[in-house]
Structure 1
């Protein structure tokens, strides 16, 4: 399956008769070309009958602004599909790394979706994320911290994020994952039914095979890796179709 089409800042992929919809936001350095960077994962989900809307962006310092931009782009994409082909089911939001944070900061607080699957949540400070930032930033006159900051992000999730149905996925070899901080913030909310799932893999498990080989070498793609991706695809499709419904 490779019939990707672009609408403004979104890449779209549709099975013949979509049974669900995934709105995807990727992580830093991979997010500009989600139809390539995450091709294997997203095309596998689409093969299970799920439409894909994937936002393309270049990460900046103002994550609150980019969260609004992502939300607006996805909304426009749904409206275009509805005008041309009819309504789609309520979307499942899917994020990887920084993409999780942008979904969690959406201006609707997660109300206009049926849940979130958060892969490898990452909420580092700017100087942890960008090498030598603290050295070059003063001379360039640029911001040296993300907005909102990591601590404020977790506070906002506790106070303003309203979606109770969240699947947080932590890979066992992911050295930059901060899913434990996320699940703690989510479960501090009244009525929450978020779940933490630990899976084999690393931070690049959701990325496509070509990128994994580029960064990690040929060893990164074996039968175990394919099984990991297949399990992710099944999980995402299940959530998009209403699995793991919150009992609250």
Structure 2
């Protein structure tokens, strides 16, 4: 199963898809999700999920980005159907977002009439521009210009409370993630949908979903540095594998609980 590009999206198509996953990555790694999130997304493809990963470039207007990625996703679905690569009939659609990708899925689910079987929101954060963009704070631009995300953090919260329509949600945070704001989002969504919102805390950091291939080459003599490298590689894969299993179980509750 190889990556294919359709309408600017990167797509994995298993032989018999059981559902569709729309993936949105973090702000600074979202331009090439088929590379930065390859291990996670290819795992989902092997589990039978048709993966559509939509690249985007971060700007201050997050509402506009949300609209653009949704349109790109829907264009790709239509293109797959026209080419006979996606069978006719109903397949559930799940949104998966990491970091800024969570905010985009929340905006999509609040501002547009989409049909989603559920969303998986990983490492959510909703910071103001001055906190999320170091250069803005360093240059003190907020005092001279109106530099803020659209919608702002408060506006985003209000939009979600007023309009978020995706009932089933899995929220994942990592124990060593210092910029995560998942607990506040969990509380907010549980007010909307009570028992339909599930939260998990896993080992790892904000970068765990990116768990890249680590090719640690040892020399002819195995040194203490090689031992450290092998241990680090095992820890990265262990944390990523735990994330994979939690996602897989939530998507398919009949699978074994990690």
- TM bracket (short chain): 0.7 to 0.9
> Aligned partners of 2:231 and 2:94: how far apart in 1?
29
Give the aligned length.
Answer: 239
- Residue 225, structure 1, aligned to residue 227, structure 2: no
SS in 2 for 1:177: coil
Does 2:187 align with 1:176? no
The answer as to whether partners of 1:28 and 1:98 remain within 8 angstroms in 2 is yes
Work out which of the residue numbers 73, 88, 91 in structure 2 matches 1:89: 91
Q: CA deviation at 1:132?
A: 2.5
Residue 62 of structure 1 corresponds to 61
For 1:148, the equivalent position in structure 2 comes to 151
Is 1:234 aligned to 2:245, yes or no?
A: yes
* Distance in 1, Cα, partners of 2:208 & 2:138: 32
1:158, distance to aligned residue in structure 2 (A): 1.1
Question: Where does residue 4 of structure 1 map in the other structure?
Answer: 3
How far does the alpha carbon of each residue in 1:216-240 deviate from its partner, in whole angstroms, 9 at most, with x for none? x957843232122223223333444
Q: 1:124 aligns with which of 120, 123, 127?
A: 127
2:189–2:197 CA contact under 8 A, matched in 1:
yes
Cα 1:80/1:241, change in 2 over 3 Å: farther
Contact 1:109 1:162 in 2 (8 A): no
Q: Which of the two has higher C-alpha Rg?
A: 2
Do 1:170 and 1:177's aligned partners in 2 also have CA atoms closer than 8 Å?
yes
2:106 matched residue in structure 1: 104
Cα distance in 1 for partners of 2:58, 2:141 equals 20
Gaps of 5+ in 1: none
TM-score by length of 2: 0.83
| 1:32 aligned onto 2:35 | no
Runs of 5+ consecutive residues of structure 2 not aligned to the other structure = 217-227
Task: Decide whether the 8 Å contact of 1:109 with 1:160 is kept in 2.
Answer: no
Distance apart, 1:72 and its partner CA: 1.1
Of the two structures, which has the highest relative contact order with CA contacts closer than 8 Å and spacing of 6 or more? 1
After superposition, the Cα gap between the structure-2 partners of 1:241 and 1:83, relative to the gap in structure 1 and judged at 3 Å, is: farther
Would the alpha carbon gap of residues 201 and 7 (structure 1) be closer, same or farther in structure 2, given more than 3 Å must change?
A: same
Task: Tell which deviates more after alignment, 29-38 or 191-200.
Answer: 191-200
